[in-house]
Chains A and B, each alone.
Chain A
Amino acid sequence: MSDASWLTEFPQMDRADLLTIRKTLDGAYREFSRSYGDAIETFFNPLLMFLVWFEKLLLASPWWAIIAIITILAYTATRSIKLSLGVIISFSLIGYFGMWDNTMRTMSIILVCTFLSIALGIPIGIMMARSNRVQSIVTPILDVMQTMPAFVYLIPVVMLLGIGKVPGVIAVIIYAIPPVIRLTNLGIRLVDPEVLEAATAYGANKSQRLWGVQMPLAMPTIMAGINQTIMMALAMVVIASMIGVKGLGQPVLKSITNQYFTLGLLNGLAIVALAIIFDRVSQAYALRSQRHLKGGHNA
């Protein structure tokens, strides 16, 4: 009977062996964090200093100045009175409900995360679009980044870098960067080969083709990727606050544990408001630059 037990039960690894593997790997990670932790921390120190400085700047600036700057940015990007009014109203409400400081903290970290994601993501996307081999390597990595539960890599990162902003930024970027990479890749690959052929016929070299033909034509898709990146970065705010990133995530966590539904909803809505403003502004800006491009083309 016991000989045939592998038919009914999965022949699984001996518990002792599994334990040895688990302990060895954990031990190796501890060893790694002990010997390289300080060096890695020093490497990220400029980023931390910048994050702290940027947050302090946003917190120290008078509220009306911040609203004015954001409104002006929104208006120049979109030329829409409606959206500018929306910015003023939502930020006033955020301040009125006592969420100003936390919103500034969240905004500072999300802005940095978005810029870093775009700065890293678009070049990776371009590389993926140019080489099928890079694409076949990067795609599964992106899959892991998007589906791996955040705490699996968060706590090792905390052991390496401590709690606070830098691990938070790393976690947010890991989760939020895939869309911009994927859609940059897709957008460039979708550019009509005949258009490229025409560009080659006019004597355009590789980089002229990339920056003059492929990127502008791929722009709408890339912008959709950036939009998704912003949304996902904001969605990670709560997870980031679980490793000590201050901001709107903290009151959300607090309200979850204490069942303060209204507090949770208010802070959640503040996150949504930030997301919508970021998104509308970036989308409208992209649309306007596209229209301009098309107008020039037709003329």
Chain B
Amino acid sequence: MKKIIGAAFVLAGVIGSTHAAEACGTVTIADMNWSSAELIANVDKFILQEGYGCEAELIPGDTMPTGTSMVEKGKPDVAPEFWSNSFSAALEKGVKEKRLRVAGDSLSDGGEEGFWVPEYMVKADPSLATLKGIKANVKLFKHPEDPSKSAFMTCPAGWGCQITNANLYKALKLEEAGFELLDPGSAAGLSGAIAKAYERKKPWFGYYWAPTPILGKYKMVKVDFGSGIDAEHYKACIGQADCENPKPTMYPPSPVKTVTTEEFASREPAAFAYLAKRSFKNAQMNGLLAWMEENQADGDVAMEYFLKNNEATWTPWVPSDVAAKVKAALAKL
């Protein structure tokens, strides 16, 4: 008897899931390994699953491998927070060849890159908020392996920002000022170095980007180059490895997009419409990231927190019947 009941349950489950699958199908979402991407991926998963009846699945992966796999293999279907600067050529090509489609901005203000110093240093000496002040105080930023030199911590080997850093290093004449490029090796090494400096209130000068939990947790000041933003020159020269004559410019906001495969966009227009609308402001994202950091929350927990407390933000992203379904599912969590 028990077996029959069990079988009936299994059967019901199968039928139930095929129903759901008919409504939308299986969606694979790239789950990138930093907090904001994790949060957005979990929000997408929950809304697509509960609101649109998709079988959503998260696939871990970094920007480069995910982007390549989307172009070459058509999997995963959705990359919810794609920093397109580091993948711009391949992204353009993918869109042109009808393999990828850009749904919209995940962060409507765009990502903020720059050279930063800790806030406590600027409080002690306000001139350090400008490049001139940094150069005048070059001796503060001691190189860990050679006390006679100073260190500028660049972006990890192989990232797109390594090129922009190297070009700006030349353009801003940091070498003449006595700075040497110091490669942290990985994102974890870079954030570890910031944490170390901050915990001991030591000088630090280097590249970082926002919105990130690190900049949410450790208050930093973006150094003003006194040059303004020259977006044209940035795109044409600073972002290119063979830039011969780099000129100083601040970082223009970097586009952070939601990217899907063309196949997904044409198969699931309703879900695609949601992804096109789903977008966060930096201020809100920083707040969410700070909450995640404070509570050591992973994407799953943060998703619940966000959806429960920010109804006004996410309900406009979806039609009202979908919103009702998501709310009902939320109540059950």
Contacts and interface: CB of A to CB of B under 8 A. Distances in A.
B160 to A, nearest CB: 9
A124 B199 CA distance: 35
Contact of A159 (B145, B156, B196): B196
Given A48-B145, A244-B182, A163 B189 contact: yes
B185 A244 contact: yes
Contact of A38 (B188, B200, B296): B200
Interface in B287-316: 295-296, 301
A158 B196 contact: yes
B62 to A, nearest CB: 8
A243 B186 contact: yes
B68 interface: yes
A268 interface: no
A1 to B, nearest CB: 14
B189 A244 contact: yes
A250 B183 CA distance: 9
A257 B64 contact: yes
A22 B196 CA distance: 19
Nearest to A249: B185
Interface string A223-256: 0000000000000000001111110011101111
B183 A242 contact: no
A253 B295 contact: no
A114 to B, nearest CB: 21
B159 interface: yes
A163 B199 contact: no
B195 interface: yes
Interface string B50-92: 0000000000001010001000000000000000000000000
A23 B296 contact: yes
B184 A159 contact: no
A164 interface: yes
Contacts of B62: 257
A154 interface: yes
A254 B158 contact: yes
User: Looking at chain A's contact residues, is the secondary structure mostly helix, strand, loop, or mixed?
Assistant: helix
Contact of B193 (A158, A246, A254): A158
A33 B199 contact: yes
B200 A34 contact: yes
A164 B158 contact: no
Given A163-B192, A257-B159, A246 B183 contact: yes
Given A19-B295, A159-B195, A162-B144, A245 B158 contact: no
Interface string B242-257: 0000000000000000
Interface in A25-51: 26, 30, 33-34, 37-38, 48
Contacts of B68: 259
B146 interface: yes
A292 to B, nearest CB: 42
Interface in A256-281: 256-259
Interface string B141-152: 000111000000
A260 to B, nearest CB: 9
B157 interface: yes
Contacts of B157: 241, 250-251, 253-254, 257
Contacts of A259: 64, 68
A165 interface: yes
Contacts of A151: 188
A52 interface: yes
Q: Which of B185, B186, B196 has the most CB of A within 10 A?
A: B185
Contacts of A160: 196
Contacts of B146: 52
Nearest to B153: A163
25 contacts: A26-B296, A30-B199, A33-B196, A33-B199, A34-B200, A37-B196, A52-B146, A154-B188, A158-B193, A158-B196, A159-B195, A163-B192, A165-B145, A242-B185, A242-B189, A243-B186, A243-B189, A253-B185, A254-B158, A255-B158, A256-B158, A258-B64, A258-B158, A259-B64, A259-B68
Given A159-B199, A258-B158, 10 more contacts: A48-B144, A158-B192, A158-B196, A162-B193, A163-B182, A243-B184, A244-B193, A253-B157, A253-B158, A254-B158
Interface of B: 62, 64, 68, 144-146, 156-159, 162, 182-186, 188-189, 192-193, 195-196, 199-200, 295-296, 301
Question: Which 9 residue pairs are nearest across A and B when measured between Cβ atoms?
Answer: A257-B158, A158-B192, A254-B158, A242-B186, A244-B185, A254-B157, A243-B189, A242-B185, A159-B196
